[in-house]
Amino acid sequence: MRLVLLGPPGAGKGTQAAILSEKLGIPHISTGDLFRANIGEGTPLGLEAKSYIDAGKLVPTDVTARMVEDRLSQEDAQNGFLLDGFPRTVEQAEILKGLLEGKGEKLDGVVNFQVAEDVVVERMLARGRADDNEETIRTRLQVYRDETAPLIDHYGAEIINIEAEGTVEEINARTLEALGK
C-alpha cells in the first residue's frame, strides 16, 4: 500500500507509522526523521534544514522534495510506503503526484489523524524534542493550519479520517480497520 499520513504536529503519526510499518510490511518514511538524521550526521542537507526546523518553519520545498524523491527511489519503497510529514503543502502534494505518476503509481489513500489542538500541544510539551518548545509549537500549529490543513480538501475522497485520541493501541486498531486490514 502507498499511504500518506496527515495530521497536526504531535498527532502521533510517527508512533502509529512505526506500528503500521511492521504490520503492513512497508517502510515508514518520515521527513522529520530524515532531516534529524541528516542534522545528526552534519550533512549539507542537515545544515540547510536545521535553521528552519529549529524555528518551526517549513524547510524549502525543493530541498525536501529532492530528499523524498531519493528515498522513494530506494529498493524497499518499491512495493509501498507510509509517508509521514510529506506532503505538507498543496505544492508538495502535486510534486508527489508527479513523482508517482512518473513510475506509473498512485496513492492508495491518505490517512488523516484527527486530534484537538490542546491535546497535541500537551503531547509535544511532554515529548520534549529540541523543536518542541512553546514558541516553536505555536509556529508549527500556525503552519499546519495555513499550509497543511488545506490538503484535507485537496485530497477529498482519498481521505480516510481516524479519530486519533485514545491509547496507541486503540488508534492503531481503528486505523487497521479503516484500511480493511
Which member of 23, 106, 127, 145 is catalytic? Answer: 127
Q: What is the CA radius of gyration of the chain?
A: 15
For residue 140, indicate whether it is catalytic: yes
For residue 127, indicate whether it is catalytic: yes
Q: Which is nearer to ligand ADP, 50 or 109 (CB)?
A: 50
- Residue 179 phi, psi (nearest 5): -85, 0
For the sheet containing 109-114, what is the strand order? 28-30, 81-84, 2-6, 109-114, 159-163
| Nearest residue to ligand ADP, scored by beta-carbon proximity | 32
Q: Which residues contact 141 (CB under 8 A, 6 or more apart)?
A: 8, 9, 117, 120, 121
Q: Which is nearer to ligand ADP, 91 or 177 (CB)?
A: 91
Give the three cell numbers for residue 33: 526523521
Task: Tell whether 98 is in a known binding site.
Answer: no
- Residue 161 phi, psi (nearest 5): -80, 135
Q: Which is nearer to ligand ADP, 7 or 109 (CB)?
A: 7
- How far apart are CB 56 and ligand ADP at their closest, in Å? 6
Task: Tell whether 42 is in a known binding site.
Answer: no
Task: Tell whether 92 is in a known binding site.
Answer: yes
- How far apart are CB 129 and ligand ADP at their closest, in Å? 8
| Catalytic residue IDs | 13, 88, 127, 129, 140
